[in-house]
């Protein structure tokens, strides 16, 4: 007997199948939408009308845009509002204040986003890529590699969908308006630079061109792609930059954040300080606390020396568990000593209030697999 598979194994199948989606109105600014609407043979004012539905009222389904003639709705459904995200599952915890959505994209790729409601704000954590190519060993997303970049509209549509969830009053005890967006979901946002910057422009443009969020309420988190950080500093944007540092020394950072082999700690911090100087925005330094790996007092002191006097804030993240990881979170007393040493060095430091761990929705846990997360309490779809 031979054991040849019936279907030939094709290692490139996934990459070949993965394809960018059709164009959507959120890919375009208002002028671009007007031009497209004219090309479709519709009066120019329809561009604003359809934008008001999508960005102003958070209506994503053309069938609900009942003030448009039926034929126009059909044309727009095909050419301006193709379905980009199909919800596969929504999980909730924290009494509904934290919700994770799993989407299937048009080519079958899967991505996740997370909504977090607080008494004074609503934050969504969105994905910029399906998978991630940065291979940080403590992050679940990095383990399966990169499938593809998301389009601008695929990025924006996550925020618009979840803004609609917030507006429906589903997040009890939180304001109904989405206020904050963090690019801390799946993917490395600066590796999908032009689409991410266009998505930021849609998020901050006033309605009906965009969602009208404040630039200060948008955070782009990066492993530290130095040329892209410098390019971002030269855009006329002043979003918050978060740098995933995780180690103050190159020996350890080379392992924890492999891109450090290309751009070293000193170089990436230089780029971060230039960003802070050009935008006036304090840079957020992300540091996952990993037991006996990066949590030693001497590393706190070294980090303190690197950051003292800079426009920086340290966000310590208790390491979240990921499948197959050999690492654990630091014990609380170790974490407290780390915080104490940084503050003694004059560095503003907080420990992140981690949300969504029980639904694998916390930092580094987004892996977008359909076969996980079943039989969980709080499943909502």
| Residue 260 binds ligand SAH, judged by CB under 6 A | no
Beta strand pairing status for 110-117 and 98-104?
antiparallel
Largest CA distance in the chain: 71
Kindly state the smallest distance separating residue 363's Cβ from ligand SAH, in Å. Answer: 3
Q: Is 303 in the site for ligand SAH (CB under 6 A)?
A: no
Please report whether residue 139 would count as binding ligand SAH according to CB under 6 A. yes
Residue 363 appears among annotated catalytic residues: yes
Q: Show the tokens assigned to 226.
A: 């130095």
Q: What is the contact mask toward ligand SAH in residues 172 to 201, using x (rule: CB under 6 A)?
A: ------------x---x-------------
221 is in an annotated binding site: yes
Candidate list 42, 90, 112, 209, residue with the active-site label? 112
- CA 289 from centroid of its chain's CA atoms: 21
Q: Could you write out the DSSP letters of every residue in 128-194?
A: SEEE-SS--TT-HHHHT-EEEEPPHHHHHHHHHHHHHHHHTT-STTS-SS--EEEE-SSS-GGGGHH
Using CB under 6 A, which of 92, 225, 228, 319 touches ligand SAH? 319
Cis before 208 (ω within 30): yes
Q: Count Cβ neighbours within 10 Å for each residue of 127-164 and write b for 16 or more, e otherwise.
A: bbbbbbebebebbbbbbeebbbbbbbbbbbbbbbbbbe
Going by their DSSP bridges, the two strands 122-125 and 110-117 should be labelled as antiparallel
- Cβ-based nearer residue to ligand SAH, 85 or 285: 285
Confirm or deny that 53 is annotated as ligand binding: no
Structure-derived torsion over alpha carbons of residues 248, 254, 256, 259, reported in degrees to the nearest 10: 110
The answer to whether 246 is annotated as binding is: yes
Figure out which of the listed residues 36, 111, 342, 363 binds ligand SAH, where binding follows CB under 6 A. 363
Cβ neighbours for 253, distance < 8 A, ≥ 6 positions apart: 245, 246, 247, 260, 264, 265
| Cβ contacts of 146 within 8 Å, gap of 6 or more | 129, 130, 131, 132, 133, 187
Question: With binding defined as CB under 6 A, does residue 129 bind ligand SAH?
Answer: no
Rank residues 81 and 125 by Cβ distance to ligand SAH and give the closer one. Answer: 125
Binding marks (x or -) toward ligand SAH, 235..254, rule CB under 6 A? ---------x----------
Q: Binding residue per annotation — 139?
A: yes
**Region from 167-175, 208-216, 312-320, 371-379 binding ligand SAH, contact rule CB under 6 A:** 312-320
Clarify whether 379 is annotated catalytic: no
Token reading at 19: 């394809």
Q: Closest distance between ligand SAH and the C-beta of residue 325, in Å?
A: 7
Binding site for ligand SAH (CB under 6 A): 134, 136, 138-139, 184, 188, 221-223, 244, 286, 288, 317, 319-320, 322, 363-364
Binding-site sequence positions for [4Fe-4S] cluster: 132, 136, 139
Query: Which residues are catalytically annotated?
Result: 112, 363
Binding-site sequence positions for S-adenosyl-L-methionine: 187-188, 221, 244-246, 320
């Amino acid at each position: 007997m031979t054991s040849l598979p019936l279907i030939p194994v094709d290692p490139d199948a996934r990459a070949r199948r993965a394809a960018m989606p059709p164009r959507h109105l959120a890919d375009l600014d208002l002028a671009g939408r007007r031009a497209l609407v004219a090309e479709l043979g519709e009066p120019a004012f329809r561009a604003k009308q359809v934008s008001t539905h999508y960005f102003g009222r958070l209506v994503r389904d053309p069938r609900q845009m009942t003030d448009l003639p039926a034929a126009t709705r059909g044309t727009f459904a095909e050419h301006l509002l193709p379905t980009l995200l199909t919800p596969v599952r929504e999980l909730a915890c924290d009494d509904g204040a934290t919700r994770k959505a799993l989407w299937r994209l048009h080519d079958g790729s899967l991505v996740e986003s997370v909504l977090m409601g607080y008494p004074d704000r609503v934050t969504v954590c969105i994905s910029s890529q399906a998978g991630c190519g940065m291979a940080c060993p403590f992050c679940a997303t990095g383990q399966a590699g990169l499938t593809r970049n998301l389009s601008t509209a695929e990025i924006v549509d996550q925020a618009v969908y979840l803004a609609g969830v917030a507006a429906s009053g589903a997040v009890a005890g939180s304001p109904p308006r989405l206020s904050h967006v963090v690019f801390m979901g799946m993917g490395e946002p600066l590796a999908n630079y032009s689409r991410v910057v266009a998505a930021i422009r849609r998020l901050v443009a006033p309605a009906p061109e965009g969602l009208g969020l404040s630039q200060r309420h948008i955070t782009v988190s990066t492993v530290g792609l130095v040329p892209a950080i410098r390019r971002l500093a030269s855009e006329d944007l002043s979003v918050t930059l978060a740098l995933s540092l995780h180690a103050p020394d190159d020996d350890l950072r080379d392992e924890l954040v492999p891109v450090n082999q290309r751009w070293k700690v000193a170089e990436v911090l230089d780029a971060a300080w230039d960003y802070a100087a050009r935008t006036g925005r304090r840079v957020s330094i992300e540091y996952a606390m990993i037991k006996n790996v990066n949590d030693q007092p001497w590393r706190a002191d070294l980090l303190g020396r690197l950051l003292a006097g800079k426009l920086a804030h340290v966000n310590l993240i208790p390491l979240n568990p990921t499948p197959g990881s050999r690492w654990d979170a630091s014990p609380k007393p170790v974490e407290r000593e780390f915080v104490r040493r940084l503050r003694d060095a004059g560095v503003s430091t907080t420990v992140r209030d981690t949300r969504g761990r029980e639904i694998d929705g916390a930092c580094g846990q987004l892996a977008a697999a359909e076969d996980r997360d079943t039989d969980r309490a709080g499943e909502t779809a």
